[in-house]
Amino acid sequence: MVHIKSKNYDINCNWKVFVDNYLDGGYHVPYAHRALSGNLDLSTYKSYPLSEHFMQTCASQPASGRLGGTDAVHVFQYPNFMVNRYGQWMDTNTVYPLGADKCRVQFDWYVAPEIAGTSAVEKALADSEVVQAEDIFLCDRVQRGLLSDGYEVGRYAPTVEGGEYMFHQRLNQDLSSASQIAAQQ
C-alpha cells in the first residue's frame, strides 16, 4: 500500500475517551455514522479480544460502493494505535494525550498502488472526513458529560463493550504498577 495523506485532529476530550469510542463494539455506528452504517452489514459485527489487541470485523453491504468493496477490519493495539482496513483502503490512527481533556489523533491513509490518484480515493477521503467529524462531535460531548454533575459510573455492556473492558483492565494494571514503583522510590 502507498501512503496518500496524513492529518492531525485536535479533539477536546481525554485520549481515553477517543479510544473508548473506537472500541465500543460498533453500537454507535448506526446512530452517529449513518452514511458509514449504510455500507456495512452491522448484523455481522464480531469482536475478538486478544491480550495486546482487540479486533472488530464487519461485512460490507453488497454493492455498497465502498472503496475495495470488502469487509471492514478494525484492530486496536494497546495503548493508543488503531488500524482500519477496507479492501484496497487502510488508515491508521495514533492517539496522543495533550492534557486531561484534550488529545491529538494522527491519521494516515493508505491505498493499493493501482488506485492511488483516482477519483475513488478522493471520495473515500471525503467520506472519511465526515466520519472523523462525527466522532469528534461525539467525543467532545462525552467529555462534557463525564465532567457534568449528572455523570455516574455504569456497568459494561458485555455484548458490545469487550474492547473497552480489555482497554480499561490493561490500563488499570499499568497505572497500578506505575504507582507501586513510584511508591517504592
Domain 2-184 in CATH 3.90.380.10? The answer is: yes
User: What's the grid cell of residue 120?
Assistant: 475513488
Angle at 75 between CA 67 and CA 113, to 5 degrees: 35
The per-residue pLDDT for range 22-45, each reduced to its tens digit, is 998 777 877 787 777 667 887 888
Of residues 13 and 50, the one with the higher pLDDT is: 13
Confidence (pTM): 0.88
One-letter amino acid identity for 16?
A: K
For 158-168, how does the pLDDT look when each residue is reduced to its tens digit (9 = 90+)?
A: 888 999 999 99
- State the chain's mean pLDDT as an integer: 89
Task: For the chain, give every domain's residue range.
Answer: 2-184
Tell me what pLDDT residue 49 has.
Answer: 86
Cα distance between residue 42 and residue 64, in whole Å: 13
Instruction: Tell me what pLDDT residue 175 has.
Output: 93
Q: What are 84-117's pLDDT values in tens digits?
A: 998 899 999 999 999 999 999 999 999 999 999 9
User: How confident is residue 77, by pLDDT bands cut at 50, 70 and 90?
Assistant: very high
Query: Is there a contact between 22 and 74 (Cβ–Cβ < 8 Å)?
Result: yes
Contacts 24+ apart (CB under 8 A), 57-66: 58/26, 60/86, 64/38, 64/39, 64/40, 65/39, 66/39
Mean pLDDT of 118-141: 93
Question: 3-state class of 97 per DSSP?
Answer: strand
pLDDT at 184: 85
